[in-house]
Each structure stands twice: as structure tokens, then as C-alpha cells.
Amino acid sequence: MEAVPSFFETHSPSRYKGVWSWLLTMDHKRIGIMYLFSILFWFLLAVLLGGMIRLELMFIGQTFMSAEVYNSVFTLHGVIMIFLFIIPALPAIFGNFFLPIQIGTDDVFFPKLNLLSWYLYMAGGLIAIVSLFSEGFPDTGWTFYVPFSISTRTNVSTAVFAAFVLGMASMLTGLNFITTIHRMRHRDMGWMQIPLFTWSLYATSWVQLLATPVVSITLLLVIIERYFNVGLFDPAKGGDPILYQHLFWMYSHPAVYIMILPGMGVISEIIPVFARKSIFGYKAIVASSMAIAIAGSLVWAHHMYTSGMSDTAVFVFSLLTFVVAIPSAIKVFSWVSTLYKGSILMTPPLFLALCFIYLFSVGGLTGLVLGAAGTDIHVHDTHFVVSHFHFTMFGGTGFAFFAALHYWWPKMFGRMYDFKKAYIGAILLTGGFMFHYVPMFILGLQGMPRRYFDYLPQYEKGNFFAGFGAAFMIIGVFLMIINLWLSLKNQRDVSSDPWGGTTLEWQTPSPPALYNFITEPVVPDYPYDFSGVVERYSKDDKGE
Amino acid sequence: MEKTHHSHYLEYRTLFSIFLLLLMFTGITVGVSYIDLGVFNVWISLLIASVKGSLVLLFFMHMKYEGRALIFSFLGTIFFLFIMISFTFWDVSFR
């Protein structure tokens, strides 16, 4: 199996060589790799911007940047992290690479559309860069709230247009994935044989397809308001500023499920493999993915309790928010139950997945504090919200991203990385994370607002600790990425199935061939049956 | 994997009948706008527009002949659009 040329050595279309074989490729794996490097660039840039924010806040008063620059830095950090990293990261990189393989096919349904999505992503990123160097950095925060986004003199229109273009890339990827899952599954693969990562991408794709057009139109309305002053959000002209918030959160709350659902899919893949045990509650996890996608689309206004929205709406949206906690909890309990009495093999991906479960649980539970209208009024727009958001999005999706990177790296590149460095990086990241965000919960409860350049003396200690933790986090992130990069230079080839996985990607060579499978894949009756794997490893242990 | 669906060819007579129906509904929309029915004017206009939209989708866009997956997907989309619009208006009406 290992002798077959990999997709790195075989071009598609074959007439293109060198850099053109990448820039004009139709191969879903190459497109996934291109996404990997472009997304990593933006991620590391946004990490450094985040570090600058925390460094500025470590000490009271101005530390090393002005208030105006600070406003732009947190806006850039948010816009890049949300639109250029966390929304596309898991679907665009790992979804592109592994979705067709996990369902036993050779590519996505629309390969050219797939490449177009990558170009739209790159175009969106370039437009975002352009927005920085003309008319001043945008300073609205990533939410672009009116009336400030309409009245500020900074270059909001270009930044908003960048988000619009990135939204198109996201929608096209979603459309591609839904069609691929419906039309290109292996003929022996029924719906209840689809791996959970692919199921999570299916649920995510629907949210991408249904919710993204709403924000795209809303962002265009901001541009129209800035240039033509129609008055859509201006009460003096019969408009409604709260309408903007409704339209924005109609997408942007479901968007957090676009971010977290694929992460949950990754964890559902990793946990059973390293517990050597069938996933607990496969059907419940599938149902909870769809339930999160549906219920998560009905709770957007829980971001708006203090906006002046009606009390009736506050009550109903609060109730619906609590409903979303149920499917999320089903997943967490299923993962923990899978680990129970398993033959656990500790590896860096499992370590990161376990960190995910802990951090995401804290993020989810603190979400209930914010979902309940009474407590939300107290902590709204404080550091508590920032901390909750980062616990779910970084502790959740961010850790799932690193877990996925360490889990599938040997399959994508055919190289194994150094475990020790990976563990040190992951421990620094997790320890730094706690130092970084736990003080922010306390600061928020004490009343420190978010997005403020300066603060009262009683908040200094918490901010100092948070900055201290940020330094460890940044070192951890860079160490993990450098470690993975170094693995490309070593000669430690890996087998087709280094972890003992059961889903179809482990039936392909590492890295896979151009059309993925060398021989017809054998679709198991149940995707997480580890009886064969346990038997194989016990034979290895006995030296048979 | 799901079965592939064959293309459907509709007779010109059917298509023309649908076209005439759409014209008729347009006429009704215009006619109703001249009658003062209070708040119901908007609802009737929306109802007629929905019927016209459904006819276009069912016949001109062949939704009537598609498999369950596509019909379910389409209805799901409509359901979400309904939720998004109605929840927003519902907030306004209770303010």
C-alpha cells in the first residue's frame, strides 16, 4: 500500500506542475492543505494581536499603545479570529481533507467550486488587509454594531465587505459538503454508518447555508447606510437600531455552532480511538449534532437582553437558550462514558481532547449564567463574557483544532511528530489558558467592562495574571506548531493506521493517494467497532 | 448512497397553465389593493405571493418531482426563514 505515489507526488489536473499544481488543483486534499497554511498564518497573526491586547492591559494606564490603536487591535483580533480562523478552520482544512475519505469517495461533489471557495477566502483576507491601510484601522469590534459602525470615520466598509466575501466562501463550502454527503457516499454506507466528524460537518453545513446569507445582507446594509444614509437603523428616519442586532446575531449566534460543531465531531473521533472502545451513544451524538444546529439557530437574541428588546422576547430567548444546553451535555456525557472502562492510550491528540472536554464544559456552564436574563444583566459586556466566549471558542474549538491537527497530521503528511514537545506545548497552552481566562471571570464579576483601554486600580492584579497566562499560551501554541513543522523534516514515516482507527481514512496510505483509496474501501457495519483493533494490538503485545 | 433522479419534462400546456395562474394571481393582488381590508390587506398580499412562489417552485423549478431529501431541505429552509422573520417581528410587537 505504501508504494503508491501520494497526492503530493500526483497532480490533479496532471497538466499543471509546480506552484500551478497547487493554485489550480481540483484535489480536495491539496485544497485542504492550502487552507491549512493560509488559516495558520491568520491564526498566528491574531494570536500576536491578542498578546498585544493583554500586554497593554497588564499594567494600569497606557503601556505601549494609544487608546485608538488599542481599539483597532481588538477589532482586528476579533475579525481575524472569527472570520479567518475559527469559522473556516475545521471544516475548510479537515472537512475538505477528510470528509470525502470518511464517506469512501474520491473528491467533493463540486471540485471547482471548492477551489473557488479557497480563492474567495484568500480574497476576503486580502480585502481585510487593504482595510488596514486605507482611511484608518476599523475600530468597531468584530460585531460592527450600529450606529457607531455607520458614523465612525475609520474604514469599516472595506472590513465589512471582507466579511461578506468570507461569508460567500463559507456558504459554498457548506453547499459542497451537503451535496457530497447526499450524493457521493459509498454505496454501502447508510446514514447511521457515517463517522461522527462527517455528521458534525453535515449539521454545520446546514447552518452555514441557512444563516450566512442573513449576515451577508446585513453587512451590505451597513455599507449602504454608510454611503447613502437611508435610515434603516436610524429611529429619526423610521429605522430601528435593534433590528441590526437581530439581523447580526441571527447569523452570528448560529455561527458559534458553525465553530463548535466540527470541534465536537473531532472529539467524537479521537475519544473512542484512544479508549479502544466503541463510542457511547452514537445515535444520541448524531441527534444532538442536528439538535444543536436547529436549536442553536433559535437563540440569537440572548446577546441582546440589555438592548431594549421586549421583556417577552427576553423570557422566550432565555428559555430557548437553556434548551441548547441539553444536546451539548449529551455529547459531553457520551464522551466521558466512552472513556469509562476503556483501554486508554494517552497520546497528544487525546490529551488535547480531554482538555477540550474540561474547558468546553466550563465554557458551556458559564454560558448558562449569561443565558439567564437576571444574571446576564449584571455581567453583560464585562470581562466575564470575554472569558466565557474564549472558554467555548478557544478552549473548545481552538483545542479541537489542535487535537485534530495532532490526530490527522500523520495521515495528511505521512510523518510522526515528537510526542514530548507536543505534550509540553499542550501543557503550556492549557496552563496558560487557565491563568489567562480564570482571572477574567473574576474581573467580569467585579464589573470590569470589556473592550476598555484602561481600568480602575482594583482590577490591576487580575489583568496582570491574565497577561502572564497569555505569555505561556503563546509559547505553547508556537511550540506545538514548530514541533509539527519539524516533523516534516525527519524521516519517521508512519503506517496507514498509526493510532488504530476504524473510520475509512485509516484504510488509505499516509499520505493518501490522489483518488484516496488504492482498493475498494470496506465500509464497516458500524464505524466504531474496535474488536479488530484490540485483537491486533493484543497480538502485537504478545509478539505474535 | 441515494438514488439519482431522472429529469422531468413538463408539457408546454402545463407550463402555460401555470403561467396563466400566476398572471391571474397578479391581477388579484392588484385588485385587492383597491379594497380597504385594514390590516388584512398585507396578509392577503403575502398569502397570494406565497401561493405564486409555491407554484414557481413546484412546477418551474421541478420541486414537485424531486426526492424527499430535497423537499425536506427546502421546507426546512422555509421553516427557518419563518422563524427568523416572525421572532424579530414578535419582539417589536411586544415592546
In chain B, which residues have their Cβ closer than 8 Å to the Cβ of A297?
A: 80, 83
What's the whole-model pTM score? 0.90
Distance (Å, whole) CA A219 – CA A217: 5
Q: How far is A298 from chain B (nearest CA, A)?
A: 8
In chain A, which residues have their Cβ closer than 8 Å to the Cβ of B80?
A: 210, 297
Shared domain check, B48 and B29: yes
Shared domain check, B42 and B17: yes
Shared domain check, B79 and B51: no
Q: Does residue A162 sit at the B interface (CB-CB below 8 Å)?
A: no
In chain B, which residues have their Cβ closer than 8 Å to the Cβ of A250?
A: 84, 88
- C-alpha A81 chain-centroid distance: 9
Shared domain check, B53 and B19: yes
Closest CA to A410 of A513, A507, A493, A518: A493
Whether B17 is covered by a domain: the verdict is: yes
Whether B27 is covered by a domain: the verdict is: yes
Shared domain check, B53 and B92: no
Count A/B contacts: CB-CB distance under 8 Å. 47
Distance (Å, whole) CA A422 – CA A413: 17
Mean pLDDT computed over every residue of chain A = 91
* CB nearest B2 (choices: A182, A240, A301): A182
Per-residue pLDDT, B2: 47
Domain count, chain B: 2
Helix extents (H) in chain B = 12-33, 40-55, 68-94
Whether B54 is covered by a domain: the verdict is: yes
A242 with B69: Cβ contact below 8 A: no
What is the share, in percent, of chain A residues with pLDDT greater than 70?
A: 98
Shared domain check, B54 and B16: yes
* Span A331-377, pLDDT tens digits: 999 999 999 999 999 999 999 999 999 999 999 999 999 999 899 99
A312 with B94: Cβ contact below 8 A: yes
Whether B1 is covered by a domain: the verdict is: no
Residue A544 has pLDDT above 70, yes or no: no
Residues A518-528: what's their mean pLDDT? Answer: 92
Shared domain check, B88 and B55: no
Shared domain check, B52 and B22: yes
Least reliable range by pLDDT among A54-63, A158-167, A457-466 = A158-167
Closest CA to A347 of A237, A412, A270: A270
* Span A96-133, pLDDT tens digits: 999 999 999 999 999 999 999 999 999 999 998 888 77
Per-residue pLDDT, A22: 92
State the cell numbers at A385: 463574557
The number of helices, as runs of H, and strands, as runs of E, in chain B is 3, 0
More confident residue, A498 or B89: A498
Residue A408 has pLDDT above 70, yes or no: yes
B66 φ/ψ sector (left φ>0, alpha ψ -120 to 50, else beta): beta
Shared domain check, B72 and B36: no
Closest CA to A455 of A464, A434, A370: A464
Per-residue pLDDT, B1: 47
Residues 248-267, chain A, touching B (beta carbon < 8 A): 250
* Span B44-65, pLDDT tens digits: 988 999 899 989 988 998 888 8
Whether B4 is covered by a domain: the verdict is: no
Per-residue pLDDT, A160: 87
Per-residue pLDDT, A89: 94
Domains of chain A: residue spans and CATH: 20-542 (1.20.210.10)
Shared domain check, B95 and B76: yes
Residue A172 has pLDDT above 50, yes or no: yes
Element (H, E) at A288: helix A282-295
Owning domain of residue B78 = 66-95
B95 with A309: Cβ contact below 8 A: yes
State the cell numbers at A255: 455561527
Residue carrying the nine cell digits 500526483: A10
Distance (Å, whole) CA A507 – CA A487: 22
Residue B6: pLDDT band with limits 50, 70, 90: low
* CB nearest B94 (choices: A214, A308, A310): A310
B87 with A312: Cβ contact below 8 A: no
Closest CA to A352 of A295, A399, A290, A407: A399
Shared domain check, B55 and B71: no
* Span A127-137, pLDDT tens digits: 988 887 776 77
Distance (Å, whole) CA A97 – CA A89: 12
* Span A257-298, pLDDT tens digits: 889 999 999 999 999 999 999 999 999 999 999 999 888 888
